[in-house]
Amino acid sequence: MTDFWHGRRALVTGGAGFLGRAVVAELRRRGATDVFVPRSAEYDLRDAAAIRRCLAAARPAVVIHLAAVVGGIGANREHPGSFFYDNAVMGIQLIEEARRARVEKFVVVGTVCSYPKHTPVPFREENLWDGYPEETNAPYGLAKKMLLVQAQAYRQEYDFNAITLIPVNLYGPGDNFDPASSHVIPALIRKCVEARKAGAATIDVWGTGSASREFLYVDDAARGIALGAERYDGPEPVNLGVGQEMTIRELVSSVCGATAFAGEVRWDRTRPDGQPRRALDTSRAEKWFGFRAETPFEEGLRRTVAWFEAQQRG
């Protein structure tokens, strides 16, 4: 519990999604009693008039912007235009309308995909502008990075208290397991579970397995976002992560073990690996607002597999 939320209304865009549900639950645990979660059927955030209606209904002191069009490498390659437009226009208009509505604080939740393709590991926030993002998700990453520019510009010109948090790859119960649009962990879990149940001897995995990633459990990410909203008021972006990387080959081995799939993994080297390496320097978050990830990867993966298997049985 914290006094920060006492008397403050919160608006969480994307609050019914994977990360959003965890953030809303975390805010309530921390004492927020008035959390407004807009639904896209009623409030299309690509439409400025709908945003104004949403803000009038919610009357928020704090806006946490999580709504996004997201997906794995395949979805990003198939829909670069809509991924750019939808993410850019939602965020740009929402920040502007929040400023006009005199919202007290705005939390931009960005993406690790904004970092340059060949960023030295660990990624430090000052590296954000050192090059172009990895090509398969650059339109999405650049659209989200423009919201950092807008937040800093609005702070400078209008004294608008907007902060930017950059979470690394997320995973956990409630993730998107649709094979057409899911990220790597839910895609692998589904593939392994279905192969085990079918008695299949092999699974196919994209790439070479040499790329590395860092994974943050969704409840840890939600706590980091809540802490940032409560304690951080600066212009500089802040990474949210674990500070550890693993190769995709190591990840696949872990998922096979967690799902009890004992077959062969076949690597499809005609498919892209994506960004070569990905791991964050998380020192700013710990120093500036006391965030440190707590969930060991093996435990988080176990919970995620258990959740998916329960959904399959249900």
pLDDT at residue 72 greater than cutoff 80: no
> Is residue 249 very low, low, confident or very high in pLDDT (cuts 50, 70, 90)?
very high
Judge whether residue 230 has pLDDT over 80: yes
Which of 17-21, 33-37, 253-257, 271-275 shows the lowest mean pLDDT across its residues?
271-275
CA distance linking residue 266 with residue 206, whole number of Å: 9
75, pLDDT greater than 80: no
Token pair in block for residue 290: 């006391």
Percent of the chain topping pLDDT 70: 100
Look over the chain and give the mean of its residue pLDDT values, rounded to a whole number: 96
The Cα 279–Cα 259 span in angstroms is: 25
Centroid of chain to Cα 185: 13
* 70 confidence band (pLDDT: 50, 70, 90): confident
Q: Give the pLDDT mean for 220-243.
A: 98
User: Cα–Cα distances in Å, from 112 out to 94, 100, 169, 237, 281?
Assistant: 21, 29, 7, 11, 12
pLDDT higher for 4 or 313?
A: 4
Residue 177's pLDDT is 95
Rg (CA), the chain: 19
Find all residues with CB under 8 Å of 263, minimum gap 6, and list them.
Answer: 195, 196, 200, 201, 202, 203
Indicate the pLDDT class of residue 74, thresholds 50, 70 and 90: confident
pLDDT band of 76, cuts 50, 70, 90: confident
Q: Where are the beta strands (DSSP E) in 62-160?
A: 62-65, 105-109
Q: Using pLDDT thresholds of 50, 70 and 90, give the confidence band for residue 1.
A: confident
DSSP conformation class of 53 = H
Per DSSP, 51 falls in state H
Determine which of 153-157, 270-274, 288-292 has the lowest per-residue pLDDT on average: 270-274
Residue 283 in tokens? 């020192």
Average pLDDT over residues 251-275: 95
User: Confidence class of residue 196 from pLDDT cuts 50, 70 and 90?
Assistant: very high
> How much is the pLDDT for 57?
98
Specify whether 158 is catalytic: no
pLDDT at 182: 87
Helix, strand, coil fractions of the chain, as percent rounded to 5: 45, 15, 40
Distance CA 204, CA 164 (A): 37
Q: Is 33 helix (H, G, I), strand (E, B) or coil?
A: coil
The confidence score (pLDDT) of residue 274 equals 85
pLDDT at 181: 80
- The band of 272, judged by pLDDT with boundaries at 50, 70 and 90, is confident
Distance CA 168, CA 308 (A): 22
Q: Which of 43, 85, 132, 140 is an active site residue?
A: 140
CATH match of 3-171+215-244+279-295 with 3.40.50.450: no
Provide the b/e sequence for 53-74 (b: ≥16 CB within 10 Å): ebbeebebbbbbbbbbbbbbbb
* Residue in the structure block whose two tokens are 């960005």: 110
Reported confidence tier of residue 131, pLDDT bands at 50, 70, 90: very high
Going from N- to C-terminal start, the domains of the chain cover: 3-171+215-244+279-295
pLDDT, average across residues 76-81: 87
pLDDT in tens, 88-120: 999 999 999 999 999 999 999 999 999 999 999
